[in-house]
């Protein structure tokens, strides 16, 4: 491989450095920056609006030792390669490294980038180095500055008007608004009754009533049981015959390879992975050289990977599963075409991964291979059965003819067998069955549906979805219920309502989406990042000053408990913080006594299996994450992430818990699942 023996390559993570080091041997010294080497200061805004928004960067305390090591190694090198990730964040880290190491001044350097950590990709990158893209750097700086301005300036207003320790975020506040609005839709939803009617005919045909006297029935046209009975009385004695049969071949095309967003959604649905776990695991797989770069919104696939998939499919499944020409997918306008979709670096590689990594890798692998397999083919049949008065029943069904890509990537396609009938064939109506239904509100967001909504509204970037979801939970603005769906807390409602009323532009979906487009234009070199900050900051600062005077203080409600403080005797109150509810003395700040709160609706009624005295209740970690613990804590330290059932495992006598909608043994070494 080309390169000087005393050249240095700098990447972000030690795992990535280790993987690259295996490929390069002793020809290069591969070092890690351990992430960001500079950031905004914690104790001040760090941005000077009066000096063209000059940003004050500092080296974090935890990074100083490693920065000094990098300086020493760079001083001994003839040439430095900066090989940080190929996106805005990676480009910004590269720029910071260049700045603090005086590269280009005291030392020659080259910027190299690759989308997969393989020997061939690294070799090609070293042969064809690029230049630092300052437009990507400026886009990252603009985003960081906007987020700092909103958080640093707006959070103190929340402290003053609602409660201490609250904070606002530019994009997180939009996600919170979506969850709050959905909750209010659910709360105001009025359930409505409706009915459907199914006809059971001879010759084993079951069909749904679709028309009455030629008029098509809409979903909620039959509003009561009485209406359904009246229709049944009209239809039950009529003569029926097959008016129409339609037979056609339906082809189901595989989904495209994963982008960051779709990977997070599918890993949530199929594996139950939170978005943060998906991103962390994908990062590990990328750094081990198993998958291509995992922060991407492109469906693009390299010619080499397509050829590899074709060869694999033909050898493993046969040519009847392989495509004559590669299937390509159209990428969205905002995506960076130079990037690839997320795919395995080698479709033939054998697994040697931890269980969590193996699960995600298999999901990525099967999605990639499936997207280059032939369509699944179904025989579809539709039968219409009519009376002379044009009362019509419809039956549809399909049966798989060829599994195609479904052979390795199962999806839910309902199969239903329909009897073979001919047009004009008479049928005897055996029975009419009415079925009661009720309208349902939209479901609360889970991680997958929230990410999809953010993406559809062009809010944030794929790499920011996991931090957004993590942050609104950490701040106790939303919590996950037992169905793993988001519900806003009282604090979340209060913060959202204040922002929505007084700073609608901060939580407005369209405004935030437009800001994302502006950041994209900065990245493309079409917009000035300082001008963007000027246009946002000065009107925002003026409005903020007004709101300090205008906004009425609405602290979170403090409820009396009827109990007195054990220290000073004054009444105890239920107070709220970012971590949830707790008991506190009304004599604060003179008396600072606090206690944890065990709410009645958080009790499970299950006796603690450890001490057999306390009750299992829902508790919360300091970061707001729920878990199940004993009410006798700290005397009893029983804790479980999963809800105990109160039953014991018949195989090993361990506790049975509710996990992934199943009742399983809590012992990892026991495979018992209750039927």
Distance CA 240, CA 201 (A): 9
Distance CA 453, CA 445 (A): 9
Confirm if 170 and 150 have CB atoms less than 8 A apart. yes
Output the CA torsion 308→309→315→316 (10° steps): 140
**pTM as predicted:** 0.81
- Which residue, 232, 225, 280, is CA-closest to 13? 280
Q: What does the pLDDT read at residue 53?
A: 96
Q: Where are the domains of the chain?
A: 7-132, 141-185+447-550, 193-253+376-438, 267-370, 557-597
Confirm if 558 and 573 have CB atoms less than 8 A apart. yes
Which residues are within 8 A (CB) of 208 and not within 5 positions of it... i.e. 6 or more apart? 196, 197, 198, 199, 393, 394, 395
Helix (DSSP H) and strand (DSSP E) numbers for the chain: 17, 27
Domain 141-185+447-550 bears CATH identifier 1.10.460.10: yes
Show which residues are catalytic: 293
Mean pLDDT by 10-residue block, N- to C-terminus, for the chain (675 residues)? 70 92 88 94 94 95 95 93 93 96 89 92 92 95 95 92 86 95 94 95 95 94 96 95 95 96 94 92 94 93 94 96 94 66 90 90 97 97 96 95 96 88 94 94 95 92 89 90 88 93 92 93 96 96 94 79 87 72 82 70 75 78 71 75 81 79 79 80
Q: What does the pLDDT read at residue 5?
A: 55
The CATH label, of 3.30.420.10, 3.40.50.140, 3.40.470.10, 2.40.160.20, for the domain at 7-132 is 3.40.50.140
Superfamily of domain 267-370: Topoisomerase I, domain 4 (1.10.290.10)
DSSP character string of 585-625:
ETTTTT---EEE---GGGEEEEE-TTTSSSEEEEEE-TT--
Q: What does the pLDDT read at residue 300?
A: 93
Superfamily of domain 193-253+376-438: Topoisomerase I, domain 3 (2.70.20.10)
Residue 123 preceded by cis peptide, ω within 30: no
Residue 551: burial class (beta carbons within 10 Å; 0-12, 13-18, 19+): middle
Q: What does the pLDDT read at residue 334?
A: 59
C-alpha distance from residue 468 to each of 42, 162, 447, 465 (Å)? 20, 22, 11, 5
Q: State the greatest distance between any 2 C-alpha atoms of the chain, in Å, as a whole number.
A: 96
Distance CA 226, CA 194 (A): 11
Q: What does the pLDDT read at residue 2?
A: 46
Query: Token pair of 613, please?
Result: 């005295």
DSSP state of 500: H
Q: What does the pLDDT read at residue 71?
A: 95
Which residues are within 8 A (CB) of 92 and not within 5 positions of it... i.e. 6 or more apart? 136, 137, 140, 141
Residues forming a β-bridge with 584: 573, 594
Q: Give the HSE-up count for residue 37: Cα atoms under 13 Å, Cβ half-sphere.
A: 27
DSSP character string of 200-232:
EETTTEEEEEEEETTEEPPTTS--SHHHHHHHH
Q: What does the pLDDT read at residue 337?
A: 46
In Å, how far from its chain's centre is CA 429? 49
C-alpha distance from residue 126 to each of 7, 113, 119, 122, 162 (Å)? 11, 9, 11, 6, 55
């Amino acid at each position: 491989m080309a390169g000087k023996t005393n050249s240095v390559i700098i990447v972000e993570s030690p795992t990535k450095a280790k993987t690259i080091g295996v490929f390069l041997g002793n020809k290069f010294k591969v070092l890690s920056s351990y992430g960001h080497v500079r950031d905004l200061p914690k104790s001040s805004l760090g941005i000077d609006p009066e000096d063209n928004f000059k940003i004050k960067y500092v080296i974090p305390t935890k990074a100083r030792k490693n920065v000094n090591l990098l300086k020493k190694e760079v001083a001994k090198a003839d040439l430095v390669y900066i090989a940080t990730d190929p996106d805005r964040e990676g480009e910004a880290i590269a720029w910071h490294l260049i700045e603090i190491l005086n590269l280009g001044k005291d030392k020659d350097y080259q910027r190299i980038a690759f989308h997969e950590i393989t020997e061939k990709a690294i070799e090609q990158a070293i042969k064809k180095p690029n230049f630092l893209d300052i437009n990507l750097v400026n886009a990252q700086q603009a985003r960081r500055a906007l987020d700092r301005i909103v958080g640093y300036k707006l959070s103190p207003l929340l402290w003053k008007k609602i409660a201490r320790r609250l904070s606002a975020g530019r994009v997180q506040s939009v996600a919170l608004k979506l969850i709050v609005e959905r909750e209010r839709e659910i709360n105001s939803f009025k359930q409505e009754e409706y009915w459907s009617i199914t006809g059971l005919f001879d010759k084993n045909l079951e069909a749904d009533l679709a028309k009455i006297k030629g008029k098509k029935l809409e979903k909620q046209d039959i509003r009561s049981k009485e209406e359904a009975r009246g229709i049944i009385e009209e239809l039950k004695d009529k003569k029926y015959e097959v008016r129409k049969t339609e037979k056609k071949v339906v082809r189901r095309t595989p989904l495209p390879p994963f982008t960051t967003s779709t990977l997070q959604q599918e890993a949530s649905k199929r594996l139950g992975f939170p978005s943060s776990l998906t991103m962390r695991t994908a990062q590990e797989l990328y750094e081990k050289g198993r998958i291509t770069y995992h922060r991407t919104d492109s469906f693009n696939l390299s010619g080499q990977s397509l050829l590899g998939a074709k060869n694999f499919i033909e050898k493993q499944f046969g040519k009847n599963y392989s495509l004559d020409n590669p299937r390509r997918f159209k990428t969205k306008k905002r995506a960076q075409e130079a990037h690839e979709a997320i795919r395995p670096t080698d479709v033939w590689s054998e697994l040697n991964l931890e269980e969590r990594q193996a699960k995600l890798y298999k999901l990525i692998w099967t999605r990639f291979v499936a997207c280059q397999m032939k369509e699944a083919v179904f025989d579809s049949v539709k039968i219409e059965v009519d009376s002379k008065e044009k009362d019509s029943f419809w039956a549809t069904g399909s049966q798989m003819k060829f599994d195609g890509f479904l052979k390795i990537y199962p999806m839910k396609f309902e199969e239903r067998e329909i009897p073979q009938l001919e047009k004009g064939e008479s049928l005897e109506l055996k029975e009419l069955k009415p079925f009661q239904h009720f309208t349902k509100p939209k479901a609360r967001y889970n991680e997958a549906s929230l990410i999809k909504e953010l993406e559809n509204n062009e809010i944030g970037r794929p790499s920011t979805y996991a931090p957004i979801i993590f942050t609104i939970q950490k701040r106790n603005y939303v919590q996950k219920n037992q169905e793993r769906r988001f519900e806003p807390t009282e604090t979340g409602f209060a913060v959202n309502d204040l922002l929505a009323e007084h700073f609608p532009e901060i939580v407005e979906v369209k405004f935030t989406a437009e800001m994302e487009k502006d950041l994209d234009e900065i990245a493309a070199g079409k917009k000035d990042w300082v001008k963007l900050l000027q246009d946002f900051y000065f009107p925002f600062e003026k409005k903020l000053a007004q709101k300090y005077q205008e906004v009425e203080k609405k602290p979170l409600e403090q409820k009396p408990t009827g109990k007195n403080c054990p220290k000073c005797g004054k009444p105890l109150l239920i107070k709220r913080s970012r971590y949830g509810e707790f008991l506190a003395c009304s004599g604060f700040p003179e008396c600072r006594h606090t206690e944890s709160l065990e709410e009645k609706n958080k009790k499970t009624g299950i006796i603690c299996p450890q001490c057999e005295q306390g009750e299992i209740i829902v508790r919360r970690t300091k970061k707001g994450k729920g878990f199940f613990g004993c009410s006798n804590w700290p005397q009893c330290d029983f804790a479980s992430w999963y809800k105990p059932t109160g039953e014991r495992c018949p195989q090993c006598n361990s506790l049975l818990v509710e996990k992934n909608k199943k009742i399983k043994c809590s012992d990892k070494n026991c495979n018992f699942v209750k039927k």
